[in-house]
Amino acid sequence: MASAAAALLIAFSAMQAIELRRITRERDRAHRITEFMTSMFKVSDPSESRGNTITAREILDKSSKEIDAGLGRDPELKAQMVDVMGNVYEGLGLYSRAESLLKEAVDIRTQVLGRKNLGTLNSELRLIWTVSPARPIWRSGKNGTRVDRHIRRSARAQQQKYAARPV
């Protein structure tokens, strides 16, 4: 009976240690995101801008260039932020910059998480959408719903093809 209680206590202690490590890792990740986001907007400090208007694109350009310094130690987090920035560039209509960032996100996620990971597949879907020749048709509203469905169906088929390949 005492040995069972001791085994249970050891198992409980091990689970607590694992949970503590996970919580610490998440806290550190949140801290790195906060630092990175804060550094993004340092350019909007009035003393740095000298009275000039600073655009969202300038902030985004500066941040996308400095992402290695801020998040280089956490490739999974870096991939997530690069993916988000790629989506923002795509939303701004800056497709070539969006494409390069989304390719980087796909590459990092493939290396870190694997080809079949949902995050990797979502980044691939965004990349396919960004480089799709049908994107301008969808944006213009002509046949948007039909084109959008077709692109998403094609992208899903492409994802399934990649996911089915041996790693």
User: pLDDT, tens digit, for every residue of 98-133?
Assistant: 999 999 999 999 999 998 888 888 898 888 888 876
Q: Which residues contact 108 (CB under 8 A, 6 or more apart)?
A: 75, 76, 78, 79, 82
The average confidence (pLDDT) of the chain is 76
pLDDT score recorded for residue 152:
65
What is the spatial distance between Cα 136 and Cα 64, in angstroms, rounded to a whole number? 25
Long-range contacts of 103-108 (CB under 8 A, 24+ apart): 103/127, 104/79, 105/79, 105/80, 108/75, 108/76, 108/78, 108/79, 108/82
Low-confidence ranges of the chain (pLDDT < 70): 34, 36-52, 70, 133-167
pLDDT score recorded for residue 143:
47
Fill in the DSSP letter of residue 43. Answer: G
Helix (H, G, I), strand (E, B) or coil at 89: helix
Q: Name the token pair of 56.
A: 């969202």
Name the residue type at position 62.
K
pLDDT score recorded for residue 167:
52
Q: Are 62 and 81 in contact (CB under 8 A)?
A: no
Burial 148-163 (b: 16+ CB within 10 A, else e): beebeeebeeebeeeb
